[in-house]
A and B are shown apart, each in its own frame.
Chain A
């Protein structure tokens, strides 16, 4: 048991040591604690993976956490096939990013703080994926959100960073509002929060309805949609995607680990985990698929015109997460998890690669001021190319297999599926375009930065490039465990491995159709490259011309469909105004205080002795009380 509980506990230990002693004792040696801890977790995770492969599913309760009346929930772990894969993804990428951070964060005043938070994050993420019940999942869920908040706002003296951290946390709270209610409803429905219990009885609620705000809703649909609210927040799907691009204020290793590879995929993991529930509700499944599909194309379209290198990748992440939800929504859970796994490698690589570039340019993130870097940074350039081949779905690379699986499963799942397949294929075209645009703007052409920067251009040190190369191996080869049976018999090892937890998708379609889907995806990958090549290498004047010709479209995309502005005008400002002017100014100070303080003044005005204000207060307060009591009774008579 200890070897499993140590998986999350090692990083927790690293957090505690670093946060308490880092400032005065450990200082710039923080990685001496953090890296061994997370590497230890990785070793143990591999061990756990082996145990699961050998056919053991581990489900242990450690202690009873909360008991109240008939409510009870434990702290306990479940390590099955799904968790085993997540453990490998989380710990392997964490280890590489920790090492990378030694170089990237070198010399930062908050070095120990950085490794503390990062360790705490790994602990939280591991608890999230290892939990054997909904409430412990919720614990991990909130805790990764906390770490995200810390790390986005890591450079807290910058207002934009502090704002972004706060925004991430609060936007996520909207999702968690639903998620939390979903967890409560799960217990009230199934009498337990343990996955095994709940999923065993999943069927028992079919056909039941629940009355919410006066209308009857299918219970299982409501549970799934509430849970999905959490996923929409955490995995930055529409309409709660707005926090993720801003989260790029955090240091780049954070963007890679938390905002690309691991935390943001928690929503995908959760829905996959709850597949026995989601599979029971068509409405919920379709919602998941539509949200995913629409987000995929929506975010990709924004990515087409952004100039900040990290923001392009951030929108790409939102879009790729959309693909994963699309897969889940059409019932291809293992395809979703497969994409989660390959995406973790190539997206982490893209972020860390961009970090290498930003590092070399002393914190320049605007691609318009880059260019021609390939001769200065050959390693970074090479891994960037590999990651791009992977994300754009060039055959043989990791992203090809997982994305193709999603496209095919969508296509073969029915009418809605075919429509979503179309969206996803167009989104794939955009993906290829913005990914190659990023490469061309950054690495090709002439350097457009300052002389000062050009003078200092250099390849990053080994501590940065070695993790890049390791991730590049993943970006190329991670997909080889999921080769479609069409191309290789028994090639879909990951699908078979996950089968016991996630089941097998069942769609209809011929081999010819499957080849057509694959062909289309390869075609758009090449078309995207060609378009980007023409616009950014052959005819570099084209983007400007097109931009001014289609100014409204360009403006819409560049300004992210004005959604941030909309939220600010429609929600944030009104709430602040309401609380200040109406609630505090009018109700609290005006009405309530007015009655308490004002009535005596009124009596005074009628000529009674002004000197008796204090006793007046007392008697008038009694009056207010009586009025309140009457109001309550009145309410009861009318409502009772």
Chain B
């Protein structure tokens, strides 16, 4: 029986989707006119989005197998292949990436004045790198994409960022690199222990000795925990988010943060199921700490963008909590919440970028009364606020509820503690909303050339797709959940066929003996 389903379409759809942005970037090299560059980038990202849509309609939801697979020999002497495909876990992130890339171009239309060409090339390369990470089924290919997206992101922050951009960029780079290096070591070890191959699916089917699992799990954990980011590996995030240009923040929150959780799902859990079981409880604890800690820090923030950045720590805590609850509801909720966070926080960063273009300040105390000044803007922000808080009828609720359900089922205390994050979440978001939109208007914004305008058409078009997704998923989550069922069941089944399933004591004893 084949373990994968080869691409059933008449053209290599994944290759097209991933490399179209690269082709677009090459095209930009020959252009001078900034408007032409913007337009070309927009067309390329829209094209990539449209090309990626048949993936959704042609995906076989009943199968957990990799689909739309393309496999070609690349470096045969090392057993390296050009091997790509997607399953129920990665498919939605392809869609999220291509969608957010379009919106990033739109929101940068006026904001990026300097080095427009380089900026748009970076955006396109970044898009290709992110897509590549989600489709790669060969470790060599995966690592190339993983590192490739680091560079444009580093440049986005370092070149087009705020005042502290260089510090933030270097911090981001070093943190991520440090994790990546450990992962590289892990990959090399896997290559030798798993039968001289870099085929991710083959390597996933091997049961590694207990001790090796533990070491490899920790090596990969280093890379992924930084990316998520999990407490206490999170301090690069507020700086990077805050200093990055709007498009950078959107991509960071929307897609880059998902790489870590995706890594857990794609590598750590299938390859090291016993180590996962062993580390489950501490990771759940770290997740809960992250949820509460992130929320508390948000209460103390005075900077709009930093507050949203820290809220990611809290939200991503929910994601890892769900994933490591290791039941269908937890994992599916976790994956859905990754998507939701991309949509909601992505949109929140778009919103902050939009208002920053008008006011040039991120200090919350400079705002106030904007609900009267910019009612449409306030309305959109209100929707995002409540989506972030997890109000039923919006996507955030479905994710949070499934995660809390899964967590409570797995570890009651964790579920209960995590649920306090729901109270704190309402606290910091509503307080933020009040300070920005309610009470007295700062007179600076109502007079003269500072007069703040409401949303224009381009901005509304940028936001509407995300708002639509918020309600669509909120009322009909099946639109996302149905893609995951098979793959998640398979993932959990794989965990449960381990010899240590339900035998934590035995596992602990064997681990002690193995050292």
Contact = CB atoms under 8 A, between A and B. Distances in A.
A621 B178 contact: yes
Given A157-B440, A169-B426, A69 B235 contact: no
B300 interface: yes
A177 B434 contact: no
B296 A583 contact: yes
B232 A166 contact: no
A180 B413 contact: no
Interface stretch (B87-95, B276-284, B357-365): B276-284
A66 B402 contact: yes
B412 interface: yes
B431 interface: yes
Contact of B235 (A64, A70, A181, A592): A592
Given A592-B235, A618-B178, A578 B296 contact: yes
Nearest to B433: A166
Interface stretch (A344-352, A353-361, A434-442, A627-635): A627-635
Of the four ranges (under 10, 10 to 19, 20 to 34, 35 or more), the interface on chain B belongs to 35 or more
Contacts of B333: 68
A213 interface: yes
A579 B439 contact: no
B422 A156 contact: no
Nearest to A158: B439
Nearest to B236: A596
B434 A580 contact: no
A596 B235 contact: yes
A628 B405 contact: no
A339 B398 CA distance: 36
A555 interface: no
A169 B427 CA distance: 9
Interface stretch (A136-144, A326-334, A457-465): A136-144
A71 B422 contact: no
A583 B174 contact: no
B218 interface: yes
Contacts of B281: 639
B508 A166 contact: no
B478 A64 contact: yes
Contacts of B504: 640
Interface in A604-640: 614, 617-618, 621-622, 625, 628-629, 632, 635-637, 639-640
Given A157-B369, A162-B439, A163-B434, A579 B178 contact: no
Contacts, number: 177
Contacts of A156: 369, 371-372, 437-439
B405 A184 contact: yes
Nearest to A70: B328
A580 B422 contact: no
Contacts of A27: none
Interface stretch (B68-76, B99-107, B144-152, B385-393): B385-393
B206 interface: no
Contact of B178 (A159, A592, A625): A625
A632 B182 contact: no
Nearest to B405: A184
A67 to B, nearest CB: 6
A70 B332 CA distance: 12
B404 A139 contact: no
A65 interface: yes
A418 interface: no
Nearest to A141: B392
Given A156-B371, A170-B430, A592-B235, A584 B329 contact: no
A166 B391 contact: no
Interface of B: 170-171, 174-175, 177-179, 181-182, 218, 222, 232-233, 235, 278-279, 281-282, 293, 296-301, 327-329, 332-333, 369, 371-372, 375, 379, 386, 391-393, 397-398, 401-402, 404-405, 408-409, 412-413, 415-416, 419-420, 422-423, 426-427, 430-431, 434, 437-441, 475-478, 481-482, 485, 488-489, 504, 508, 511-512
Given A68-B485, A71-B329, A212-B416, 5 more contacts: A69-B488, A139-B392, A181-B408, A621-B175, A629-B222
